[in-house]
Structure 1
Amino acid sequence: MSRRSGILEFAVLGLLRESPMHGYELRKRLNTSLGVFRAFSYGSLYPCLKTLVQQGWLIEEPAPPQEDPRAATLAGRRAKIVYRLTAEGKEHFEELLSQTGPDAWEDEHFGVRFAFFGQTSRDVRMRVLEGRRSRLEERLAKMRASLARTRERLDDYTLELQRHGMESVEREVRWLNELIESERAGRDQRADAPDERQSEDTGGGPRHPGTTPPDPSDDTT
């Protein structure tokens, strides 16, 4: 499975964990809620859905009679099928949520992982955030070293583009620092009040101003 198809699988399972949907509604959510999927089409989505059904992670059901007929008109006959997450699919998605390896830190995958932080445990959120920060700090160091070597050979516009790329990475590192500190503060508060209900361990991390991830497309590297 390619990295991009793996991201789509993850996002589809995550959205269907929230509620059953038909293909038209899924594509709409992928395009609007998860902006990194704007380029995906029905040609990408339906093979993914078919694979997930074959693996037993989704089931297909007829749409209820009260289903909005406008969706069926826009999406064709396929809109009459509703996709529902199975118990095995939920278990598989939870396994994916627990993964914190390098793939979770990459530009496109991180944005999708972050979109589902509300369903992710605090410890996993911390590992993903810290891994992403480490990856960006490495990238920033390389960008600075490259700029120092080539500064004299660059024209003004290329130099400005390089600076813009660095500023984009620096901005995301600052944003990650704020998120990590917010997560740590939430953990400290929980430790100070052990008798309080710990419902946020499995979702809904601490809300923090400005928690929309910076657009990876700003990065020129």
Structure 2
Amino acid sequence: MLDLAILGLLHETPMHGYELRKQLGTKLGAIRAAISYGSLYPTLRRLQAAGLITEGAPAEPVTATEVPALTTRRGRVVYKITAEGKERFQEMLAQAGPETYEDAGFGVHFAFFARTDQDTRLRILEGRRRRIEERREGLRDALTRAAERIDAYTLELQRHGLDACEREVRWLEELIATERSGGQPGQNSRATQPAGPGESNTTPPPPGSSRHLPERTEDEEGG
């Protein structure tokens, strides 16, 4: 999955190692914990040996405050994707096997969904939904069998995991429906949904705005 992430970022623009690591953290969010200098540079060397990326002209020197001591001067090397790398990136994007349903695989592929065709996006989303539904049912069974034998904190942790699965299934179902309708994620956000009982679709005005002030009466207008 790191190969796909690196090729995807370099497809957008050449980067030196330190900037590439920062962008990996930004792009992958929660998955960034798996990205380290120990795994990044060996992967870059392997991709370079395979002809998928190449080194460009050195970038401007990076200050000592930007680069951790263990990185020495490697951060100054600029990496660029090759034509072969672009072809390999497109091939990897088109993959929708079981590995794309797991946490890390799904996260990396989802990060590049804007470059992925609709059919592949749907296959991955539906596969991920099945995987999370299986996980959810497993947690339900475990809770039913062990609820009376485990302590309250362990029970609460399992309930938290079950809640997380249920939320993700709902999220995936919304994404799948959006994909099938040809829409874009976020178009059916809460702000555009019908208000529920006791709710309002009106966005609260910021403090200090004119909408917070009481309406003036005719007497006050005349005064």
Q: How does 1:84-123 map to 2 (within 5 A)?
A: 84-123=80-119
| 1:179-208 superposed Cα distances (whole Å, 9 cap, x missing partner) | 00110111xxxxxxxxxxxxxxxxxx7232
Q: Which residue of 2 aligns with 1:55?
A: 50
- Give the SS at the match of 1:84: strand
- Give the SS at the match of 1:83: strand
2-structure distance, mates of 1:144, 1:58: 46
Quote the offset at 1:39 in angstroms: 4.0
| 1:103-154 superposed Cα distances (whole Å, 9 cap, x missing partner) | 0000111111111101111110000000000111111111111111111212
Quick one: structure 1 residues 39 and 134, their matched pair in 2 at CA, closer, same or farther if it must change by over 3 Å? closer
| Structure 2 counterpart of 1:207, one-letter code | P
Quote the offset at 1:76 in angstroms: 3.6
Quick one: structure 1 residues 71 and 61, their matched pair in 2 at CA, closer, same or farther if it must change by over 3 Å? farther
Quick one: structure 1 residues 210 and 40, their matched pair in 2 at CA, closer, same or farther if it must change by over 3 Å? farther
Q: Which residue of 1 aligns with 2:41?
A: 46
Give 2:16's match in structure 1, choosing from 16, 22, 28: 22
- Give the SS at the match of 2:51: coil
Quick one: structure 1 residues 28 and 71, their matched pair in 2 at CA, closer, same or farther if it must change by over 3 Å? farther
Q: Using the aligned pairs only, state the percent identity.
A: 55
Q: Which residue of 2 aligns with 1:70?
A: 63
Which has the higher Rg, Structure 1 or Structure 2?
A: 2
Q: Which residue of 2 aligns with 1:12?
A: 6
Q: Which residue of 2 aligns with 1:195?
A: none
Contact 2:14 2:80 (C-alpha < 8 Å) held by counterparts: yes
- Give the SS at the match of 2:147: helix
| 1:17-60 superposed Cα distances (whole Å, 9 cap, x missing partner) | 11111101101111222121234222211110000000000011
Contact 2:62 2:76 (C-alpha < 8 Å) held by counterparts: no
- Give the SS at the match of 1:154: coil
Q: Gaps spanning 5+ residues in structure 1: where?
A: 1-6, 187-204, 212-221
Q: Gaps spanning 5+ residues in structure 2: where?
A: 190-223
- Give the SS at the match of 1:38: helix
Quote the offset at 1:93 in angstroms: 0.7
Q: Which has the higher helix share?
A: 1
Quote the offset at 1:69 in angstroms: 4.1
| Structure 2 counterpart of 1:12, one-letter code | I
Q: Which residue of 2 aligns with 1:4?
A: none
Is 1:144 the equivalent of 2:140?
yes
| Structure 2 counterpart of 1:26, one-letter code | L
2-structure distance, mates of 1:160, 1:210: 32
- Give the SS at the match of 1:93: helix
Contact 1:23 1:79 (C-alpha < 8 Å) held by counterparts: yes
